[in-house]
Amino acid sequence: MNTSQDTIYAQAYENISDFQFDEKVAGVFNDMIRRSVPGYGQIINTLGDFANKYVSTDSNIYDLGCSLGAATLSIRRHIDNRNCKIIAVDNSESMIQRCRENLSAYVSETPVDLVCGDIRDIKIENASMVVLNFTMQFLAPKDRETLLSSIYKGLKPGGILVLSEKLNFEDESIQSLLVDLHLDFKRANGYSELEISQKRSSLEHVMKPDTLEQHEARLKKQGFKHFNVWFQCFNFASMVAIK
């Protein structure tokens, strides 16, 4: 997968525009997300292990907000001989193009339907696994419940949703501690103060994290029987919900 270095916010801009998953971001996204999200690599690898345990024969797997296809690739490596299909969706043309190239670099018997479209318009059906890996935080808060309701309806009994998100914390001391630790993580990965602060401004109106309590309440309201965080590092977590 492409590893061009993310220097998007390295120069000083007079006006910071809202963050978009455009051509520029898609070109450096693999580097950007690995240097920005603590635990990203482990989460991607573990999605394959979840798939191995939960994907049933003749079912569908959905990767919603697939970006360059990292989650799809990890899952696909673990589900041979199950006659499944992966539906990978993203509304960024640039991401989808690169994703197509990344997928074609590996041979697999599991077909992938690569859809350039809005995840809010996708019908989920016959699903044994749905992945939202750092995608839901970019939806307007009012649309999150509707999306989860459609995922819940489309999951087979016993099916799994893996939901990874940046988190907010109501306790202000915890919020500032975990945000500081995340900023240190970014510094340790070579981002300058300028890059960090310009990216924060660009994400401000675009990415709206929820608290863990909001996630749990919303998932339980849809009917998910089982819920837990399976991974957390600082203010980033990955949750599982089982129907």
Ligand X SMILES: O=C(O)C(=O)C[C@]1(C(=O)O)C=C[C@@H](O)C=C1
User: Which amino acids are annotated as binding site for S-adenosyl-L-methionine, given as ranges?
Assistant: 40, 65-67, 90-91, 118-119, 133, 200
Residue nearest to ligand SAM (CB): 65
Provide the mask over 12-51, with x wherever binding to ligand X is found by CB under 6 A and - wherever it is not: --------------------xx--xx--------------
The DSSP H or E segment spanning 89 is strand 85-90
Nearest to 75 by CA among 43, 97, 122: 43
Residue 37: CB minimum distance to ligand X, A: 5
Which CB sits closer to ligand X, 116 or 183?
A: 183
The Cα–Cα gap between 120 and 228 comes to 24
* Contacted entry of ligand SAM, ligand X, none for residue 71, CB cut-off 5 to 8 Å set by kind: ligand SAM
* Contacted entry of ligand X, ligand SAM, none for residue 101, CB cut-off 5 to 8 Å set by kind: none
Residue that is written with structure tokens 């049933």 in the block:
56
Which CB sits closer to ligand X, 57 or 206?
A: 206
List, in order, residues 6 or more apart from 106 with CB less than 8 Å away. Answer: 73, 76
Partners of residue 96 on adjacent β-strands = none
* Contacted entry of ligand SAM, ligand X, none for residue 82, CB cut-off 5 to 8 Å set by kind: none
The Cα–Cα gap between 99 and 29 comes to 11
The Cα–Cα gap between 94 and 90 comes to 10
Q: Please report, as ranges, the residues that interact with ligand X according to CB under 6 A.
A: 32-33, 36-37, 134, 166, 199, 203, 207
